[in-house]
Amino acid sequence: MMPMFPGMPSVGGLFLGLAALLLVIIAVVVVVLASGAGRPAGGSGELRGRDPGGPEEELRRRYARGEIDTEEYRRRLAVLSEGSGVRS
């Protein structure tokens, strides 16, 4: 198709350029969403800075996941229990 005015793109070329730009924008949005840029840090969906149960709850979770054995769990729980009475 010949351009209407010399030096100006044809209408078909203009739409093709806009369609290409739209595809690039869509691709960038997909990559950003797939990379997880909008999710909170932490991996499990919990917001950092919140105390979802304190140290005893975290100790219980570690024991439940098998990261520590029963002896270690009881020893650490005793230390936490002793420390909770010292705070003022």
- Report helix, strand or coil for 11: helix
CA 6 to CA 59: how far, in whole Å? 75
Digit-by-digit pLDDT tens for the chain (88 residues) are 555 666 666 667 778 888 999 999 999 999 988 887 666 665 555 555 555 778 899 999 999 999 999 999 999 999 988 876 555 4
CB of 10 closer than 8 Å to CB of 1 = yes
Q: Which pLDDT score is estimated for 16?
A: 85
pTM tops 0.85, yes or no = no
Question: For residue 48, which amino acid is it?
Answer: R
Sign of the C-alpha dihedral, residues 49, 51, 55, 57? negative
Domain ranges for the chain, please list them. Answer: 11-37+52-86
